[in-house]
Chain A
Amino acid sequence: MRGRRVDPAAGARAGALPEAIAALSRSLPSGPSPEIFRRAKFDRPDATSALWQLLFRVLSPLPAGSALASIALEVQARLVKSALCSQGYPRLALAQLPEDGSQGSRELLLALSWLLARGPVPEQMVAQTRVPLGDEMTVCQCEALASLGPPAPHMETEGPVDVRHVQWLMGKLRFRWRQLVSSQQEQCALLSKIHLYTRGCHSDQSLGHLSVTEAEMLRDPEGGQQLLRTLEHENRRLEAVLAWRRAELVFWQWMDTVLGTCAPEAPAAASQPTFLPWVPECGDGELELVVRELRTLEEELREAAERRRVAWEAKARGCGRGPEWSAARRACRETVEKELGALQRCWEQDRSPAQAHGPHRLVRREDGAAGDRDLRAAELIRTLRSQEACLEAMLRQLQGQCRQELARLAGALPGLIWIPPPGR
C-alpha cells in the first residue's frame, strides 16, 4: 500500500483502512493486495482480473483445488455473473461487464462488498478448507445422500428402456444401501477401538484420546508435517479474520464513498437482449406437484373437519354451559394453537435452531459426560429415531396410496387374481 490513506474526516482512523483491507485480503483465499482495492475504487482496469478471480473463488461451489486455477478468465467471469444474478444482486451494471477483464473493477468491488455485507464470507471460506483434526460426524441432514447436487448427466440413455431395467437399477441401489450399512458399522467399530486404545495420550484433557488423523500423523511423519503446515496456515487466516472483524467498520464507511462515486442506475429496462430466459431450478412442474398435493389435502381436511364439527356441535349441545366448560375449551384452544405454531415454525425457519449444524468431533468417554455445549450421542439417537419413524410413516403412506391406485386401475379386469407378496 503506497503510504497511508489520508482521511480528512477522521485523522485518528488514518491507518485503519489499509489495515482492515489487508486483514480482509489475508483472510480470503488468494486475496488481492490492498492496492488492488484502492485501484478498484478508481475503476482502474488493471485491478479487474484479480477481482474476477476472487469473486469466483468465493462463489464457486467447488472446493478449492488446482482444477479451479485452470479455468479461463472468461468462464470464471460468466459463472460469477450467473451466481450473483441468482442470489439477487441488484445492480445491472455487473451483468453488462465485458468478460475479458478489461474494465469494471469498481463494479466488482461493489459486488464483493455486497457479498461481504450479506454473510460471513471470510469465515465460510476458512471453514470450507478447515483442517479436521478429529474424527468428525455431521449431525444435520444438509449433506444427506440425496442432495448431492443435480445428477450429472453422464451417459445419456440410448432411447427407451424396459421397465425391468428400472427394476434392476432399483435392486442395485438396494444392494448399495446394504453395503453402506455394513461398511459404516465396521468403520464405527474400528474408530471406537482406536479411541479406546489411545486413551490417555492427548494433551487436551477434554479430548482424552487421539483421533485417527492424529494417530496417522504419528505413523506417517511426512503427512504429519504437511498437516502441521496446513494447520498453521489456517491459524494465520483465522487471526486475519478476527482482525478483519474488529476493523471492518472503517471498510464500510469507505465503501459508502465508493458507491457514491458511481452514477445511479436507471430502473431495469424491459428488454435484456443478450441473455437467455432463465428456467427456474425448481421447475414450475415441481411447484405444480406441491399444489396438487396440498389441494388433495385441503379437500380431505375440509370433509373430515366438517363432519366432526357437526358431530361435536350436536354433542356439545347436550352438555351444559358453564364457566369450567368454557375455561376448559379455551385451554384446549390455546394448546392447539401452540402445537400448530410449533409445527409451522418447523418449515418457516430454514433449519431448526435447536439442532447444531456442521461436523462435530467424536470423543469417547466411558461415562458419557459432556459439557454444556457438547452434544450427547444418546440424545441425538433419540432425535434420529423420531425422524426415522416420521419418514417411515411417510413412505408407508405413499406406498399405501400407490397400492390403492393400482388396485383401482387393475381391479377392473376380470379373470385375474392378484396375489400380493407375503407381508413384511
Chain B
Amino acid sequence: MAPAADEAKSGNGGQIQRPFTFNEIVLRNRLTALVVDGDNFCRLLQQGILQAYGLQTQTVDNGDAAVELIASGAKFDLILIDMLLPILDGLEATRRIRAMGVNCKMLGVTAFSGERERQAFLAAGVDLFVEKPLGPEVLIPILRELDGQYPSI
C-alpha cells in the first residue's frame, strides 16, 4: 500500500490550480472526429470531451466497424483509435484505413504504455501514440493544428 500511496501523493502538492474549461480553445471550423474504442466508458467519455471542444463526433466499438464506416465514404478530420479492439484490433484497423488512402490525423489512444506497443501502432499508421487518457495538453495543440490556428509542421 505504502509505495503506491507515496507515489500518488506527488500529485500537485495541494496547490490550487486554475480550473480547467473547454474554452481553452475556440474552433473556427466544424471539425469531425471518429472514436474507436471497445470500452463503453472510454468511448462515451472521449466522445463527450471532443463534443465539449465543439467537434462533431461519431463512435464505433470495434475495428471492423471503423473500417466499414470509412469504406462507406465517411470522412473525419480526426480519428482516435484504441489498440485493443474486438473483432478487428486497432493495429490492423489502422493499416486498412491508411491503405484506403485516408490521410487524416489518427491518434492511437491506448492503456498500453510499452515501447513495443508504441512502435507497432506508429508502424501501423497512427500519427501519434498516446497513453490513455488523452489530455488537453496533447489534444488542444492537435485541434489548433486541424483548425488551421497553427501552421502545419
Q: Do A and B bind each other?
A: no
Query: Which B residues form the contact surface with A (CB < 8 A)?
Result: none
Chain A residues in the interface with B (C-beta under 8 A): none
